[in-house]
A = this chain, B = another copy of it.
Amino acid sequence: MEIIDISVDRFTYLSNQVSDSEGHGHPGEEHEATQTLTRIITDEGIEGYCFGGNPRVMEHIVKSAIVGEDPLYREKIWQRLNQWQRIHKSGLSDQEIAVVDMALWDLAGRCANQPVHKLLGAFRDKVPAYASSMCGDELEGGLNTPEAYGDFAQMNCERGYKAIKLHTWMPPIEWAPDPKMDVAACRAVRERVGDDIDLMLDSYHFYDRHEALFIGRELEKLNYLWIEEPMDEQSVSSYVWLTEQLDIPVVGPETAEGKHFTRAEWIKRNASDIIRGGVGDLGGITPLIKTAHLCESFGMRMEVHGGGPGNLHVLCAMGIAGLYYERGLLHPFIDYDKPPPWLHEIPDPLDSNGFVHVSQDPGLGLKINFDYIKKSKI
Contact = CB atoms under 8 A, between A and B. Distances in A.
A83 to B, nearest CB: 11
A264 B297 contact: yes
A122 B78 contact: no
A286 B292 CA distance: 13
A114 B114 CA distance: 12
B75 A120 contact: yes
Given A73-B121, A76-B123, A290-B293, 12 more contacts: A73-B122, A73-B123, A75-B122, A75-B317, A78-B121, A78-B319, A79-B319, A111-B114, A112-B119, A289-B293, A294-B294, A294-B297
A210 B162 CA distance: 59
11 contacts: A73-B121, A75-B120, A75-B319, A112-B112, A112-B119, A119-B119, A261-B299, A291-B297, A293-B293, A293-B294, A294-B297
Interface in A164-214: none
Q: How large is the interface on A (under 10, 10 to 19, 20 to 34, 35 or more residues)?
A: 35 or more
What is the copy number of this chain in the assembly?
2
Nearest to A260: B297
A286 B121 contact: yes
Contacts of A123: 73, 75-76, 79
A76 B297 contact: no
Contacts of A74: 121-122
A26 to B, nearest CB: 36
How would you classify the secondary structure of chain A's contact residues: helix, strand, loop or mixed? Answer: helix
Given A72-B114, A75-B319, A112-B113, A297 B121 contact: no
Interface in A120-159: 120-124
A268 interface: yes
A289 B294 CA distance: 11
Contacts of A63: none
Contacts of A296: 260, 290
A70 interface: yes
A288 B218 CA distance: 43
A122 B71 CA distance: 9
Interface in A231-271: 260-261, 263-264, 268
A268 to B, nearest CB: 6
A73 B114 CA distance: 12
Interface in A64-88: 70, 72-76, 78-79
A268 B266 CA distance: 12
Indicate the member of A70, A78, A296, A297 with the most B CB atoms within 10 Å. A297
A263 to B, nearest CB: 7
Contacts of A294: 293-294, 297
A318 interface: yes
A10 interface: no
